[in-house]
Structure 1
Amino acid sequence: MKYFLIVLTFLFNAASLRAQTAEDSVKAAINKMFAAMKNADSEQLQSVFSDNMVLQTISKNKSGALTVLDEKPAEFIKQIAASAPGDLDEQIQFSTVLIDGPLAFAWTPYSFFYKGKFSHCGVNS
């Protein structure tokens, strides 16, 4: 029985470590993206994007209706590359990270600063 409990404890700890490693990997990729934005580093930004990535912004238009804006990743990267290092500083917090095999979801509230001044806040997912 003692041997069984030791093995069981090891298995639970190993599973926990594996989950932490996967979550850490997801967080590292997201942090790398926002560091690339802040540093205006288009190559680093491109390195964290998948070929089939979808980039959308949900906001209210002037009349108050919700809109979904699809942005091409290449255009987004071009905008980042055109900025000066330090101009775009999106500071995030990790609220939730969910992982299922190769699929990961992160909910990250953020505050956005442009040239050191607060611009807006929201949530990335």
Structure 2
Amino acid sequence: MKKLILAVFILLSFQSFAQQTEQDAIKQTINTMFNAMRKGDSTMLRSTFAKGIAFHSVANKKDGTVTLEIENPDDFIKLIGTPHKGVYDERITFADIKIDGPLASVWAPYKFYLDDKYSHCGVDVFQLMKTADGWKIIYIVDTRRKGNCPE
């Protein structure tokens, strides 16, 4: 009986460790994306994305309607890599990470700064897939607002 309990404990410990290791790898991919934004490094940025990545933004219009805006990932990559004034600094908190085999979902409240000046906030939702080269971002959708920032 003691051997069975020990085996179950070891198995659960291993699963917990493996899950934490995958979460760390997912966080690293997302952190690399934001480091690339801060550095203005489009090559580093592109390395975090899978082919076919999709970008969307859920936008609140002044008239009260909510729309889904489709954004072009190549335009974003070009924006980051083109010399510009200021540092694009998006500061996130990893609120929730869910993993099912090669698929992961991340909920991350953020605040965006240009240099040290606050611009806006919202929530980023990332979908990632595990590839032979590690975790890659396949989808990003976000919200954006000036106030009432998530913590």
Same fold (TM over 0.5): yes
Residues in 1 aligned to 2:72 and 2:62: alpha-carbon distance in whole angstroms: 23
Q: Tell me how many residue pairs correspond in the alignment.
A: 125
More helix by share: 1
**1:64-87 residue CA offsets vs partner (Å, 9 max, x unmatched):** 321211111111101111244861
Contact persistence 1:39–1:85 (CA under 8 A): no
Question: Is 1:26–2:26 an aligned residue pair?
Answer: yes
- The within-5 A match list for 1:75-94 is 75-84=75-84, 87-94=87-94
- The within-5 A match list for 1:1-125 is 1-84=1-84, 87-125=87-125
**1:11-43 residue CA offsets vs partner (Å, 9 max, x unmatched):** 010011111111111111111111111111100
- TM (normalized to structure 1)? 0.93
**Root mean square deviation of aligned Cα:** 1.4
Contact persistence 1:40–1:86 (CA under 8 A): no
Residues in 2 aligned to 1:2 and 1:85: alpha-carbon distance in whole angstroms: 64
Contact persistence 1:37–1:45 (CA under 8 A): yes
> Which fold has the larger relative contact order, with Cα–Cα distance below 8 Å and residues 6 or more apart in sequence?
2
- One-letter identity of the residue aligned with 1:101: G
Identity %: 39
- TM (normalized to structure 2)? 0.78
Question: Residue 148 of structure 2 aligns with which residue?
Answer: none
More strand by share: 2
Unaligned ranges ≥5, structure 2: 126-151
